[in-house]
Amino acid sequence: MVKVGDVVKSKVTQITKFGAVVTLENGETGFIHISKIANQYVKNVEDFLKQGQEVTARIIGKTRDGKWELSLKEEKSQEEQKDAKKAEFEKKLARFLRDSEKKFAEYKKRAEKKGGRF
């Protein structure tokens, strides 16, 4: 039995405007949405997938009609996502501190020019 997070082999059975219908090895039906086909922009599904092609994909959920929802993109692990968010936050914080120090120095300089003490 397959579950969310599993990597499965499947075969493309139908190409649609918004993705591809696939059949998993165990016979269940799945769907790969156009946004989950590649890490780059996909204008035409047929540029990336062909009917009858075998693909390896990760199960990411279930669609409303009970099909497995799959992704061909490499999904980052939760730890990698947390590390990336932390690095991004630290970068923003460093930029904020640098800008704040610069503004404070400019304010201090203007105040001293006017003869006031800071």
Strand-pair partners of 29: 23
Is residue 1 domain-resident? no
Q: Per-residue pLDDT tens for 5-46?
A: 888 999 999 999 999 999 999 999 999 999 999 888 999 999
84: domain range? 76-113
The predicted structure's pLDDT at residue 112: 86
Same domain, 43 and 89: no
Residue pair 59/70 in contact by the 8 Å Cβ criterion: yes
The 10 Å Cβ neighbour count of residue 66 is: 8
Residue pair 69/61 in contact by the 8 Å Cβ criterion: yes
Same domain, 87 and 33: no
Number of domains the chain is built from? 2
Task: State pTM to two decimals.
Answer: 0.61
Pick the more confident residue, 80 or 105.
105
Q: Which residues contact 75 (CB under 8 A, 6 or more apart)?
A: 58, 60
Asked if residue 75 has pLDDT above 80, the reply is: no
The predicted structure's pLDDT at residue 12: 96
Distance between CA 5 and CA 37 in Å, rounded? Answer: 16
Pick the more confident residue, 63 or 70.
70
The predicted structure's pLDDT at residue 101: 95
Confidence of residue 76 (pLDDT cuts 50, 70, 90): low
